[in-house]
Amino acid sequence: MVEGTLSAWSVRRRESPPDLRFAPIVLPIAFAMEQRQNPRPEALGPRPQARYTPPPMARAPLVSLRDVRLQDGPLPLFDGVDLAIEPGQHACLVGRNGAGKSTLMKLVMGLIEPDSGERAVQAGARFAYVPQEPDIVGPTLRDHAVSGGADPWMADQWLETFGLDPAKSATRLSGGETRRADLARAFAEQPDLLLLDEPTNHLDILAIETLEDELKAARFAVLMVSHDRTFLERTTKRCFWLENRRVRTLDKGFKAFDEWAAKVTEEEAESLRRLTKEIERETYTFYRSITAQRTRNEGRARRLEALRQDRAKRVADLPREIQLGVDAGPSSGKLVAELKGVSKTFLGVTSDESRVAREDPTSQSAPGATASDSPLATRHSSLPARTILKPFSTRIMRGDRLAIVGPNGAGKTTLVRLLLGELEADTGSIRLGANLAPVYLDQSRDELRSDMTLWDALTPGGGDSILVRGQSKHVAAYAKDFLFKESQLRQPVSTLSGGERNRLLLARALAKPANLLVLDEPTNDLDMETLDRLEDLLEEYDGTLILVSHDRDFIDRLATSTIALDGRGNAVETPGGWTDFVAQNPGFLSGESRVTSDEKKMPTPVPASLATRHSPLATPKKLSYKDARRLDEAERELETLPASIEALEAALADPALYTSDRNRFDKLSADLDAARAKLETAEADWLRLEEMKAALAT
């Protein structure tokens, strides 16, 4: 019947037999015409109708850039950038320091205009932006959170999610509090597209994990710039690579980026090699036949010049690599530092204020002064004492690589100063090794004044040379090793990006011979390439290394042991990096990145009409998203861990195991201890959360 209908239609149209490619369009029309001419008997029922289903179409992007160009002084910063962000898409923007990632995000936001090209925005699309260095507005955190137009109840909910009191004063905030406050503001605005520029800077690991969970649950689109590999691997599904003034796109998460980028780089290197060979062949041919084929050689000369220009452009675009080096200097004694029963308490200072006192040199009377000596302590002497470190013992030997982790304000910097002998302990003893030559890289960047030029920062004593690991080197040559241009040497430090300032601090620190490197958040604002080079350098470093970092991948690659502080004075040391610490001490840091329910004020009731707009926060009488997730996780662990423990115990019961395979015996023993500890933590968390759930339901 279909063929007859198509044939009849074809005859009526006086056309050749129909092209079946158009059947999806023709078929419904033909059926309708036949039904009108030959009505179907009612007894047979209605004739089935053929339906044309169009192919799925791509979703219109929220914002797109097409052939965007932007000049940065005499050189182009972007030369034909194409980029599109679709609704619900979670993408990262990757590139070297100075490539223009922050500038590109501002172009996407519409904060700056390109020199040429198009920016198209979906009608009604809402944007929210968290810059590298947020500015807090208003007298309280609630005032800042509603400054973008968010509902007050929504702002309060998000501030509490990120562990902040909405009524807290917006003055004298730490870096971590500033970051969390601006994240709360951005989330509360319920944007269609959220742009995050280095969102993990100054956040502790637990706050980063909170941010990860909220991003994974978010339905809006996200474009983020970050140096944190683990963070990007857990939150992204697409990668934009800003390289050589253009953007390449990978429709996969960051886990696949390194392999893809290496392949692209290899292909471009091969293309450059072939171009060089072609230039060599053309040059040989040109000069060999220059007299015999003059007319023909004019065209050959133009082609040869074009090839040379193409190669020169490609070579100029090749990124320079940072030149890092460090001298371990004279060998220290075998013992670097030893703490026995050391404790530290700050009197009369709250946790936030004590952190500010440590990070702000103006809040302390002198170097090495304790928090109790600060004006804050005097002002708040009536407040109860806060224990930073309960009696704790550790020993650091030459060549050790120690990582220190914990929530913001837990006392990481205090512990470092105790290890360096800059602080006196309340109890216990501190013994330092002989012949120590430490270098301390401070995350606060207080050494860099805003009016200081890059030249002044590299040569604090004046002159045009710098002593680099015992040898004199011109300041311009040394700055070039850290990817600074000669034109930047007279620029004020305030004009440098965050990554450039961190490179400058590295340049200052690594110039000095040091057998003890203390690096406090060294990865902030660094691009991936520089971070990889720094890791390679530290892996080969012969001295002793102390790391304070929130970068989980960085810790896993470098640390041989990890000390964790929970913010309540407890400390635990675990062999290995972050992954080993979490496996052997489950739950040790749980919940410390957020304010507990006892410390929070009850949230403002949510209007019923708006209850569905933000489901994770819309019902204050239920467990929070994090608590509910942990309750489900604890229930699963209570079901599975007993069987795992039983299996491990059965394997260890083999009397021949210890003698036949000592390594396996040690591993099984460690796994058993970790499983038992995890089960104990799961039981405690389950009881606590079930009680909380029951209390909220009443």
d(CA 369, CA 376): 12
On the question of pLDDT at 74 being above 50, the answer is: yes
d(CA 226, CA 200): 7
In 331-405, which residue ranges form alpha helices assigned H by DSSP? 351-359, 375-379
pTM here? Answer: 0.61
d(CA 160, CA 601): 9
| pLDDT confidence tier of residue 127, bands split at 50, 70 and 90 | very high
pLDDT for position 653: 77
423-433 per-position pLDDT tens digit: 888 999 998 88
| Count of CA atoms in the C-beta half-sphere (13 A) of 494 | 4
Q: What count of other Cβ atoms lies within 10 Å of the Cβ of residue 617? A: 22
In 409-481, which residue ranges form alpha helices assigned H by DSSP? 412-419, 454-458, 475-481
On the question of pLDDT at 8 being above 50, the answer is: no
Would you say the C-alpha torsion 409, 411, 412, 414 has a positive or negative sign? Answer: positive
| pLDDT confidence tier of residue 213, bands split at 50, 70 and 90 | very high
| pLDDT confidence tier of residue 456, bands split at 50, 70 and 90 | confident
| pLDDT confidence tier of residue 369, bands split at 50, 70 and 90 | very low
d(CA 640, CA 560): 30
R_g over Cα of the chain: 32
Contacts with 550 (C-beta within 8 Å, 6 or more apart), sequence order: 200, 203, 204, 205, 208, 228, 405, 521
On the question of pLDDT at 203 being above 70, the answer is: yes
596-650 per-position pLDDT tens digit: 333 333 343 433 333 333 333 333 456 676 677 778 788 888 888 888 888 888 8
pLDDT for position 385: 66
On the question of pLDDT at 351 being above 50, the answer is: no
383-394 per-position pLDDT tens digit: 456 788 899 999
541-586 per-position pLDDT tens digit: 888 889 888 888 888 888 899 999 988 889 999 998 898 898 888 8
d(CA 225, CA 232): 9
Contacts with 21 (C-beta within 8 Å, 6 or more apart), sequence order: none
Cα-Cα-Cα-Cα torsion 101, 102, 108, 109, nearest 10 degrees, comes to: 170
467-512 per-position pLDDT tens digit: 776 677 777 777 777 767 777 777 777 777 777 777 777 777 777 7
More confident residue, 248 or 76: 248
Average pLDDT over residues 53-67: 72
Tell me the two tokens of residue 318: 């090749």
Q: How far is CA 560 from CA 407, 567, 689, in A?
A: 21, 23, 35
